[in-house]
Amino acid sequence: MAEKTKLWYLQNFNMLEGMSPAMMADLAKNTSMQSNSKKEIIYFPEEASNTIYFLKTGKIKIYRLSEDGKTTTLQLLGPGEIFGESAILGQDTHDNIAEVVEDSVVCAIDKLDFQDLMEKSPHLTKSVHKFIGFRLRRIQAHVEDLVFKTAKQRITAFLHRYIETFGKEMVDGWMVRPFLTHQEIADLTATARQTVNQVLNQFADDDIIKYSRRFLQLKGNLDQLKS
């Protein structure tokens, strides 16, 4: 892709706001762009952790796989977020799996180049530390949901976060396009597909949501999805 296009993508990341034009150009020069299709794996556990990824479009799922084959989803990331941050936390290898949930465009930069930029920019360093703190709090909240909430409460809490993160607020509610499959929601909430179907249908019967594979519409405000 053209450097101009790559620079435009990077300029739309909140974390990079405040960087000088020269540093932004340097970042673009050292960044590669790639398009990834749904179900593609960006990295596996034990692979070398030497790249920082900027997610421009699409969705990425970060999860762990236990020895008995069970998955635990830690995060669902959307445009404007970074991942692979273990590379700047001193880890030599990844602990988790990064999988494409929705066709994505990703910018990648070597961790040494990114660390060099952090040393030159106190603002970027502060933004990265703030991001890591926020990411850890979000993971903790998700894990607490898995431990302490019922299946219905986990699905409800997930829908609330999903709409708040990926949705667009409308005059009469919220809209998210596209929506996830029931199995994807089940995987993200550690519940059964049948339970997801029951919860979604109940919300639809109560006229709180309307949904299909193409969209999820919340009729009203997010308070209706408090678990």
Domains defined for the chain, CATH in brackets: 3-147 (2.60.120.10), 151-225 (1.10.10.10)
- Is the torsion defined by CA of 219, 197, 144, 46 positive or negative? negative
User: Please, what is the average pLDDT of the chain?
Assistant: 87
* Contact between 62 and 83 (Cβ < 8 Å): yes
**Global pTM?**
0.80
Residues 134-172 pLDDT 10s: 888 888 888 888 889 999 999 999 999 899 888 999 988
More reliable by pLDDT, 8 or 137: 137
DSSP 25-60: HHHHHTEEEEEE-TT-EEE-TTSB--EEEEEEEEEE
Looking at the chain, the whole-number percentage of residues with pLDDT higher than 90 is: 46
Looking at the chain, the whole-number percentage of residues with pLDDT higher than 70 is: 94
d(CA 143, CA 149): 10
Residues 44-82 pLDDT 10s: 999 999 999 999 889 999 998 878 877 888 889 988 888
Q: Which of 98, 109, 100 is nearest to 10 (CA)?
A: 109
